[in-house]
Structure 1
Amino acid sequence: MPASETMVIVIGESLVDIISDPHRPEEIQAHPGGSPLNVAVGAARLDLQTTLVTHYAEDRYGLMIDQHLRSNNVRVINGGTSATSTALAALGTDGGAHYTFSIDWDINGASLPALAAVEGSTHVHTGSIATMLGPGDKATLALVMAARKHATVSYDPNCRPAISPDVAEARNRAELFVTASDIVKASDEDLSWLYPDRTPEQTMAAWLELGPAIVALTRGASGPVVLARQGRVEMAAESIAVADTVGAGDSFMAGLISGLSQLDALGASGRHRLQNLTPDEMNALAAYANRAAAITCSRQGANPPRSAELGPMPVPSPAQQA
């Protein structure tokens, strides 16, 4: 499906990351962030028509988010009035980020335009705080369920124990969204926290039985694993100089969505295609998303690649797959 015809709706939080870097303690940087916002920007930069259903206020940080989204051609449906959320991100010596949040999540102020958007979409993505924090989590799930007749759905739990410390409740909420999704992506840290008594790959297999066509696992420097009923793909992470890992998983998710669009595997009409990808197509898809994440890791902050940097996904021809 041409990118220009793929209507992607992302539902989830927008916030400002306030980043403290131990290598430059004199510098405190503020950047628009939040996993769903990053996925929306990543998808738009890969030329997908993207709308973000979110919440931020008309305050200093909200204006920063608004300018960032609009400069990246992301349409906005803003459903909240509370102060714009923030996350204090302290970077470790390995480039990983640890977060402290001040956040609200409520999109009831945009319920009608949000419903109209998902009903007209090709694909809907959600995840992270938007699926765990009330009162907006219930509205998020309702929008996902309303979308399923018209669109494929993807989900990334992107767990934040500081926001949802009750792991049993978080696990239950995650499984609701997994069951409603066609594509699920999670990190090894997510799955180890949600299911400490089994391996991440055991959880991938269990989640696949709940209904998704694809479950993808990101493992940082160890690279991704993609699991479907017709096969499994594993590859190493690309060898790069890591600036930091902020937004890498979100770029991987945007890469998956873009790659599946190029395979005509999104939307209700693409669901059968999605469920029957060949091993070569799965490998190409994983490599494409892996490359998107690597580019993001090579530079500071959640700065996903544009289509000119990533290029089109190399899609195996039928002759190559024979």
Structure 2
Amino acid sequence: MSTDTTAPRVLVVGETLVDIVHTPDGSVAEHVGGSPANVAMGIARLGHDTVLATTLGDDDHGTRCRAQITDHGVAIENLDAGGHGTSTAVATLDDSGAAEYDFDLHWELRPVEDLDRFGHVHTGSIAATLLPGAEVITQTLTDAREHATVSYDPNVRPTIMGSVDEVRVRIEELITVSDVVKASEDDVEWLYAGRSLPEVMAAWGRLGPGLVVITRGGDGVTYRVSSTGDVAEAPARVDRVADTVGAGDSFMAGLVSGLLDAGLLGDGDARARLRAADLDAVAPAVDRALGTSAVTVGRSGAYAPTREEI
């Protein structure tokens, strides 16, 4: 954990759940997960003061989640307003390590208090689209923008998020209040079937973010800065793949960490710097993100690496 008391404090708002992973050989393992929780643990492991606002039940799964998240250096604020059990996701892996999910989710939450504690706010995935909690997410991001930067990862789950037309409207609404958007190539294909990555990235950039990044699995990443409209690519750095669970979340954590260190996230002035940044300015953060995700896919589950490991 960073000891720099002047560094921006990071708030992550979103779901925590237990991934129950079924592998092709028939074995079953449980891992603490949920995209926002993974991102929070990843950011904290990279040395940033991080708080996760989430919902956890008073059950064995909740106890396990609390222990692992706090062990990673993350402070938890439980916003549970419904008294539900801890959410779960059954992940079935194929022979390539790719996962398909079946969710049991509950997402009711109270508003986050004292948002002025934070210089950066991240959200994404199910929490940002699943009612009624998604309404609290919207208000949180809107209120936080007065003093903090915002990052967002749509991380779409087509089987539970609703119709593509409804989800697209919701995602674009959140993009308008975000400074950084990271999505996968699969996300874009589902949301905008038939449209090219550069076309979608330009459209998202016009909505407000200073940086849009699209991950393309083993083919690396494509990213675009809004200041110039310039686009660049970077290759993946993966040596071996155990599974892909948490890879996108690890990338997101590395990206936020790198941009914070570069002074391109963390307050209103950082937002202005990001809006003016060129490709060279954001490239080191993209490289850190590629490094963190490379370490993660080499391990089973959503492993969060430290700076020393990348």
Q: Identify the residue that residue 132 of structure 2 maps to in structure 1.
A: 135
Q: Identify the residue that residue 200 of structure 2 maps to in structure 1.
A: 203
* Aligned positions of 1:102-113 closer than 5 A: 102-108=104-110, 111=111
TM-score for the superposition, normalised by structure 2: 0.95
Q: Identify the residue that residue 163 of structure 2 maps to in structure 1.
A: 166
**1:154 corresponds to 2:151:** yes
Q: Identify the residue that residue 302 of structure 2 maps to in structure 1.
A: 302
**1:90 corresponds to 2:89:** no
Q: Identify the residue that residue 42 of structure 2 maps to in structure 1.
A: 42
Q: Identify the residue that residue 319 of structure 1 maps to in structure 2.
A: none
Conserved 8 A contact 2:238-2:297: no
Q: Deviations over 1:267-286 (max 9, x none)?
A: 21211221222332222221
2:23 to 7, 21, 24: 21
Letter of the structure 2 residue corresponding to residue 85 of structure 1: S
Conserved 8 A contact 2:225-2:279: no
Distance 2:124 2:113 in 1: 17
Q: Identify the residue that residue 63 of structure 1 maps to in structure 2.
A: 63
Aligned residues: 303
TM-fit CA distance, 1:2: 8.4
TM-score for the superposition, normalised by structure 1: 0.91
Conserved 8 A contact 2:11-2:52: yes
Q: Deviations over 1:171-201 (max 9, x none)?
A: 0110010001000000011111111131233
Q: Which runs of 5+ in 2 are unaligned?
A: none
Question: Helix, strand or coil for the counterpart of 1:53?
Answer: strand
Tell me which moved more, 186-195 or 267-276.
Answer: 267-276
Q: Identify the residue that residue 113 of structure 2 maps to in structure 1.
A: 115
Distance 1:91 1:160 in 2: 16
Distance 1:61 1:181 in 2: 32
1:99 to 52, 77, 101: 101
Letter of the structure 2 residue corresponding to residue 71 of structure 1: D
**1:285 corresponds to 2:302:** no
Question: Helix, strand or coil for the counterpart of 1:48?
Answer: coil
Q: Identify the residue that residue 13 of structure 2 maps to in structure 1.
A: 11
TM-fit CA distance, 1:248: 0.7
TM-fit CA distance, 1:142: 0.3
Q: Identify the residue that residue 255 of structure 1 maps to in structure 2.
A: 254
Q: Deviations over 1:210-260 (max 9, x none)?
A: 010000000100101111123222011114111111111111111111101
TM-fit CA distance, 1:164: 1.1
Conserved 8 A contact 2:22-2:93: yes
Distance 1:102 1:164 in 2: 13
* Aligned positions of 1:181-220 closer than 5 A: 181-220=178-217
* CA shift in 2, pair 1:198/1:145, >3 Å: same
* CA shift in 2, pair 1:75/1:89, >3 Å: same
Q: Identify the residue that residue 314 of structure 1 maps to in structure 2.
A: none
Q: Identify the residue that residue 315 of structure 1 maps to in structure 2.
A: none
Question: Helix, strand or coil for the counterpart of 1:31?
Answer: strand
Conserved 8 A contact 1:120-1:150: no
Conserved 8 A contact 1:3-1:262: no
* CA shift in 2, pair 1:232/1:3, >3 Å: farther
Conserved 8 A contact 2:225-2:278: no
Q: Identify the residue that residue 263 of structure 2 maps to in structure 1.
A: 264
Distance 2:277 2:250 in 1: 21
Q: Which runs of 5+ in 1 are unaligned?
A: 311-322
Letter of the structure 1 residue corresponding to residue 107 of structure 2: W
Distance 1:54 1:270 in 2: 26
Distance 2:125 2:4 in 1: 25
* CA shift in 2, pair 1:239/1:36, >3 Å: closer
* CA shift in 2, pair 1:67/1:157, >3 Å: same
Distance 1:196 1:119 in 2: 39
TM-fit CA distance, 1:295: 0.8
Q: Identify the residue that residue 75 of structure 2 maps to in structure 1.
A: 75
Question: Helix, strand or coil for the counterpart of 1:300?
Answer: coil
TM-fit CA distance, 1:3: 6.1
Distance 1:239 1:30 in 2: 24
Tell me which moved more, 229-238 or 67-76.
Answer: 229-238
Distance 1:150 1:193 in 2: 33
Question: Helix, strand or coil for the counterpart of 2:50?
Answer: strand
